Structure 1
């Protein structure tokens, strides 16, 4: 199983655990809700009994007040009937407690009959003695049903608690074990590949065999690009007298690639482990919250787990994009810039609206440009997205400009904004992996600008920038001869 599938499995397992945990919490809370309704039922029954006793002392019968009391008595059993879902009814039928719902239906029917009797008394059909006699009989039945309701509901809640809590614990333990195992296999794959590349004890044949056999596809793509670059340079040597210097240069390049891969392995392992560890701890808190019947805290911790998994999913997506950035492709097509800009505006519409930025584009490309559409789109979209994310809220007017034009023999893209900019002390780190300079303003993987630089270099171009507290300007230059 490759790394991306392992990470997707981790997300799926966590979502399953969270779903079952939240469902169990809601079902247990519903039992407490039924007990509360029964308590209110008894309260209103007692309230009606006091009014009837007061009337028995030859006081005036206030029909409107009695109707209000009976309506209040009817509300609780009606709510129980409405809130009992198919699963509740199935469980109650299975453990022989379904007569609790029948008691609720009896109370609703009894309340309706009492209301009808009051209407008959108002119309003179029933006498004072008859209506009092009927109300006393109804009160006795209400009390009897309310007492009989408590036992089956208690039994049902106990059954749900005894059944779901062990299930949640078992699934949580399985999930924690699975996530731990999968995360270790991911880290192990990266460490083993790094050790393999840095080892000097392998022959070329055994190195290729171990690389093809034991390396996940995502990591293969990173190494394949570096390997392909070296092979192509070696095949194009024009003179043997330059061989030693070229070999030395390529060895240094490979060492740099190995160092970058080692850094990538460490940072990727760290950033992948962090949300998993957080989700594991929060899952334990959710279990404790359920034990303590603290539904609100359980929901809060559950939402935090979901946020951690979304952050993990974003990181995995960006890692896969970065892994594919150096893979050669022959897909070239004529670029429709109006279409690209329109699609980007659609995808970033919420960001433009949320940050209230004025987004303007200028396209002046009189010749047909033919290149990799996906790479070019990711370059433009990542830079525009960053400009929108890091706008300066203290400025009265925020803008982002995107200019695309032909300048002599170069195809040029300029993205300019008046946002918060990048501090000068970080300028040497802008295109490095996992670098985030304003983590308090926006979440991300720190791979966006590294991905842009890889795409620009793949298209044989250059990227430069200037940035200060007044804003940032990124300029991409691609040789026009490679695009027409």
Structure 2
């Protein structure tokens, strides 16, 4: 039998026992109530007797008091009949005590007759003597009924006590034994399952087979559900760990991006504001110079404004290039590095003019490179232009060299110079935005190397450098099989 059925049986047996016990208690209490009703019956008979004695000594007749006494006497047998149920009637029939019901019915009839005589006396239909005789006859019957009522009620109550109390005890004892048996079987089932789960598996027998052989019903279903839940919890735990690791990594990346964005916004707004503010002030001077007729000074200030706007344009262009560095490009074409160097020299003509630095390039490729031409152009141009800008004026033969070659599916670009180098205390900041380490020689926006770094990371490559007073060497490596 399943544990749930055993528990249900225990509940049913307990409910039956409690119901019989409560019923027995009510039945025993009912016997006491019958005795109480008979006592009240005698009490009101005594009051009626006093009223009759007063009439006999020629006192005036108080019909209201007499009527009240008779109604009170009548109420006791009425209450008694209402308390009797079908089971009581059956019991009284069996033990031959049903005459108590007949007595109650006769008592009510006597009371009704006495009340009728009272009405007749009040209406002067009968005289005083006839009324008194009627009351004495009713009083006699009431006393006789009260006396005869006591014995069958006592006998009925005794039978209930003798019958129900042993029945309750027997049922209680049976319940105790049977419930103890059921509880023991449940405890044994749980104990056996506990031993099974806590013991080591036998040779060639796994836990599923043991459960199948030794466990049934709800316990088996419970263990199966618990094992499934544990598997799911372990699976979810592993997923949560992986998810937490991903979230942690993404959070760190997002925090870094936010920090970079905050720094970028601050420096960009500062660098954009400077030439704009200068141009605005100079424009006011130009207006004043023109009004004063000093065209020469106005022209000089206008030239300065033009230079400021060029600087602003360079900054804006570099910001746009930096913003586009993280965006995938569809312009994937074979790259002609020789032409790329020629185009770069044309764009850097302004920087190379009157510049004592010599630019040497050496390109050795075993196979064509297909990738984003614009990214490579910006990488090479920014690194080379830095070498040209920061050459060492004290050295007799300043130079910048660019070597481009491939080996084992790795494209390598090495740009070296013998310039003034990067100050050691700032070498960790080379790829940060808006960083300029030689303010006197600086003409750019400070975004060049940050742009180079983003392009190389987009191409899954790497960049490193060595720098000292003897010069700087940048080494760029890009896997050719992982290019865009």
The normalised TM-score by structure 1 is 0.49
Greater RCO, 1 or 2 (C-alpha within 8 Å, sep 6+): 1
Q: Which has the larger radius of gyration?
A: 2
